[in-house]
Amino acid sequence: MNTHCFAPAKILLPDERVPLGQWACVACDQFTSQPEYWAKAEAIAAGVPSALHLVLPEAYLETETDAQRSRRIAQIQQTMREYQADVLTRSVTGYVYLERTEQSGRIRQGLVGVVDLEAYSYQKGALPMIRPSESTVVERIPPRMAVRRGACLELPHVMMLADDAAQTLVEPIGRVKNSLPKLYEGELMLGGGHIAGWAVEDPALLAQIEAAVAALESQGAFDAKYPAAAGSAPMALAVGDGNHSLATAKACWEELKATLPAGQWADHPARFCLAEVCNVHSDAIEIEPIHRVLFDTDAAAVRAALQTYCSANALALGKGQGEQTFTFVCADHSEVLHFAAPNHPLTVGTIDGFVFDYLAHNPSAKVDYIHGENSVAQLCREKGGVGLLMPPFDKGDIFKGVVLGGVLPRKTFSMGHAEEKRYYLEARLITE
């Protein structure tokens, strides 16, 4: 058994005759306030094999009744069993190396394998080898657990980040990709861009990857990167995206583990979760802020409440650029503002203090977390949202912030645009 936090696995893929643009669909937590996106995706996938039939888009969580959701989940799990038998007919025993062309034209390299859920925790204060970069909202886990319980397959959209300045893990595989069997290549649905994947099964390459992971896990490497935390428990990987997907896998594993003899824990497939690992130092890794949009409220009321909140909390709200700058957006105008005396080290933390206070005093309002300034502007124009645009986020602060200060505020950053999120493509069995 591989004892490292990232390991090879038996990875399943659809039959070569299934078109890539029909099969792969974007992460379920995207476009949550844009059901029209999912309607288009459903039209593409209607009546044909598609990963869309294996996931529950979160855009439906607030629009469906409990009974409707239960029926949808039952259908998802039934489709998984059918696809296991006659659609997911190819497999790789090892890793999948992939290249995703982003909207900028840069190519994001990734390595798909499994992470060990015993090496991960989302509990506050825990210091495992794999750590969330943002706070985990436990209320978001139960709907996902309902899908994973009783499921025979997983298709998570987890993307992990490695602090690998020496480029020892992912990039060396890219240099030999032309000698590897190609698994897929094509365009992803609804503007997802180009993707290609190769099988990594050669024993020498598997040993090379294992050695790179072991080095990233070492105490010496950790102490050298983070001298201020030298001697504390090492951290090898941070969750870049799909935090709640991974937390769901962990919660389900802990639930199942309690029913199993200890002798069955080591190799049980549910102990692991499929994930893509990328190097945070890659030029293609773009870390973007996640914006806040308030709905079912009034722009004037939000702006007045913001001023009142700042006055009450000595935040010194000012116009224009400043120490912590953000943009207030509504249907017909926008305004650049700043906090001159913030009460949190990050702008997003200061903003969240206001948002949570506003929701507490205005229970009919709700907040959504939106990727991309254009999407925020569209929601403000078309759906009466009130947007709070966050400033750019320095990706170099992710690991340092997690190691030295614990998790970042929830929904602090996003890896790329919504269309560039990980698409469900590879799958894995999670039952024996």
The DSSP string of 201-249 is --HHHHHHHHHHHHHHH-HHHHHHH-GGGTTSPP--EEEEE-HHHHHHH
As a whole number of angstroms, the distance between CA 46 and CA 268 comes to 34
Report residue 78 as tokens: 């039934």
CB 23 within 8 A of CB 192: no
At 99, which helix (H) or strand (E)? strand 90-101
> Tokens in use for 79?
């489709």
How many helices (H) and strands (E) in the chain? 12, 21
Structure letter (DSSP) for residue 325 = E
Which structure tokens are listed for 174? 């890219």
Pairing of strands 317-319, 334-339: antiparallel
pLDDT of residue 1: 55
Which residues of the chain register pLDDT less than 70?
Answer: 1-2, 396, 405
- Which position has the token pair 């090492």? 234
pLDDT at 408: 79
For helices 347-361 and 299-312, what crossing angle results, to 10°?
A: 110
Determine how β-strand 159-162 pairs with β-strand 272-279. Answer: parallel
Comparing CA positions, the residue from 351, 369, 346 lying closest to residue 418 is 369
Residue ranges with strand state E in 119-181:
130-132, 153-154, 159-162
pLDDT of residue 344: 83
Distance separating the N- and C-terminal Cα atoms of the chain: 16
63, burial (CB in 10 Å: exposed 0-12, middle 13-18, buried 19+): exposed
CA 130 to chain CA centroid, nearest Å: 14
pLDDT value for 55: 94
User: What are the tens digits of pLDDT across the range 57-114?
Assistant: 988 887 888 899 899 999 999 999 999 999 999 999 999 999 999 888 899 999 999 9
Every domain of the chain with CATH number 3.30.1760 lies at 290-394
The predicted pLDDT at position 26 comes to 94
Q: What is the C-alpha separation between 397 and 83, in angstroms, rounded?
A: 41
Query: 243-257 vs 141-148: helix axis angle to the nearest 10?
Result: 60
Q: What is the pLDDT of residues 171-188, one digit of tens each?
A: 999 999 999 999 999 999
What fold characterizes domain 290-394?
A: 3.30.1760
Q: Say what the pLDDT of residue 282 is.
A: 92
